[in-house]
Every structure is written in structure tokens, then in C-alpha cells.
Amino acid sequence: MTTIDTRLGTIGYERSGSSGIPLLFLHGVGSNRHAWDGQVERFGAERLTLAMDLPGYGDSALLPGATRDDFAAAALAFLDALSIERAHVCGLSLGGVLAIAMHAQAPERIASLILADTFACHPEGEAILARSLAGMEALGMRGLAESRADALLAQPAAAAVKTAVIETMAAIDPAAYVLAAKAVWLADQRREARAIECPTLILCGSEDRITPPSLSDELKDLIAHATLVEITGAGHLPNLEQPAIFDRIVAAFLSGVDEKA
């Protein structure tokens, strides 16, 4: 277990590598830092690579009453605690929403954005939030995880991936889940997305039913200079479902950004 104290509380994280512009991975609402273990190992071979638990998740301290902006501020405080002035930020779903919020708070600190299976504003966000919180109340976190796993993954899903998704989500602190669910599903960051000027890669699983490709198309319309890539055969979690393809696309993007830096 690796943790660090920040001005907004203790953060749990994984770390690999040491050189180059750092790369920070941000997980989704039903996940934790370990969803990125494969990417931390892969990209740690060429640059300092980090994956953090969002507040209240994994080994990170809960931020009572935290908002979307508070989660983003916690990620920036984590970079501060590690004396990192500027980083590439890759976020999936909630992580992507928070990456956009981080850019809005401190654009000079974002070397590039990788926005995976995420959105600026979800047209069904309020309904998804209501269903998620009702499911949590009725079924508990494990029951909610078991009921949602198939929707998160392209079918037929690999048994090991499905099991990992369920076990990770089942372990989430319900108090943290409520705050994070509100942070993601009630987001409307269309104005913030239009203001993004740094290099940006948008990724989406072709079979994502949670944040379908149409939402990535809308995000691309807001960030005109962004590159949009659809990952065939993946659902909402392409880094777990199609890791080799996901990593290859991200590596090529980062290489191009670094060459121009």
C-alpha cells in the first residue's frame, strides 16, 4: 500500500517509472486505482506513471460532501504533493469528467488529456444517478455490482474481467460512491470542454452502453482539435477489455505529444 498526505487528505496510489512528463490515470465511479494496473506497468517502462484512488475510494481518505470540483482539486493536490507541475491526464468515465474539471481549474498543468468513455453532459445523467442510488439502497454495493457488470462490458465478457469488475465495485464505500455518482452523472461541462486547447485524445468502446459513442462524437464537436478513436469489441472499460489496443493508441498519442513538447 502506497499513500501520500495532501492538503485535501491522504491519497492511495500506484507508481512506476521515473522519467519524462508524468502520466496520471483516473478511474471511474465503480472502480479504483487498480483498474489501471496494466497501464501503470506498461507506461511505467517509459515515463513516471501514476494511478490514484479518488477521495473515499481504496486507500484514499473520504472528503465529506465532496463535489466534482473537489475531486478535481484533490487530483491536483496529489500532483502537488509529488512535486509534479505538469502531467498528461487519462481519465475514464468519471475520471474523464474530472480530467476536464482539472483542466478548467489549472490548464497550465495539463500536458494533454485522454478522455475515455466519458462525456461533457450525459442526456440521461439524472436518470442513471437515480437508478444507481436506488440500486445501491436496495441491493448494497455487491448487489449493485452484480446487476451492472454485464452492462459495463461488451458481451460475451471474459469471466476474469467480469469477476474483477464485480469485486472492485463491491468493495467501494457507499458514502464515496454517492458523492462520485453525483459528480459524474450531474456533470455539464460543455463550456469547460470548449475551452480545452491542449492535445486531446477521445476514446470510446464501440459497444459502450453506458456512455455510447454518440457522446464521444459530441465531445469531439466541443473539442474540435481532438482525435477520436473507437475501440472495436470494447464496452465501457476498454483498458480492461482490450488492453493491448488501448495501450497502443495511448502510446502513439503520447509519443506525438512529447515530440512536439
Q: Report whether 91 contacts 103 (CB < 8 A).
A: no
Predicted confidence at residue 164, as pLDDT, reads 97
Return the CATH number at 253: 3.40.50.1820
Residue from 97, 142, 103 nearest 115 by CA: 97
Strand partners, 92: 116
Q: What contacts 38, CB < 8 A, 6 or more positions away?
A: 239, 240, 243, 247
The residue to which cell 457522446 is assigned: 215
Give the Cα separation of 158 and 94 in Å (integer). 23
- Name which of 258, 257, 203, 260 is nearest 234 in CA terms: 203
Antiparallel, parallel or unpaired: β 87-92 and 23-26: parallel
Q: What is the pLDDT of residue 65?
A: 96
Backbone angle region of 20, left / alpha / beta, with phi > 0 → left and psi within -120 to 50 → alpha: left
What is the C-alpha to C-alpha distance for residues 207 and 238, in angstroms, rounded to an integer? 10
- Residue 47 and residue 22: Cα distance in Å, rounded? 6
Record the pTM. Answer: 0.97
Spans in the chain with pLDDT lower than 50: none
Q: How far is CA 25 from CA 37, 83, 90, 111, 194, in A?
A: 10, 17, 5, 13, 22
pLDDT of 129-155, one tens digit each? Answer: 999 999 999 999 999 999 999 999 999
Q: What is the pLDDT of residue 175?
A: 97
Number of domains forming the structure of the chain: 1
Identity at 236, one-letter amino acid code: H
Residue pair 128/182 in contact by the 8 Å Cβ criterion: no
Tell me, what's the pLDDT at 179? 98
**Which residue, chain included where needed, has cell 490514484?**
52
d(CA 134, CA 130): 6
Joined grid coordinates for residue 232: 472495436
Average pLDDT over all residues of the chain:
97
Q: How far apart are CA 176 and CA 169, in angstroms?
A: 12
pLDDT at 62: 98
Full residue range of the structural domain in which residue 115 is found: 3-260
Distance CA 47, CA 99 (A): 19
Burial classification of residue 232, based on how many CB atoms lie within 10 Å of its CB (0-12 exposed, 13-18 middle, 19 or more buried): exposed
Sign of CA dihedral 55, 4, 106, 35: negative
Give 41-91 pLDDT, tens digit per residue. Answer: 999 999 999 999 999 999 999 999 999 999 999 999 999 999 999 999 999
Q: Going by C-beta distance under 8 Å and a sequence separation of 6 or more, which residues neighbour residue 123?
A: none
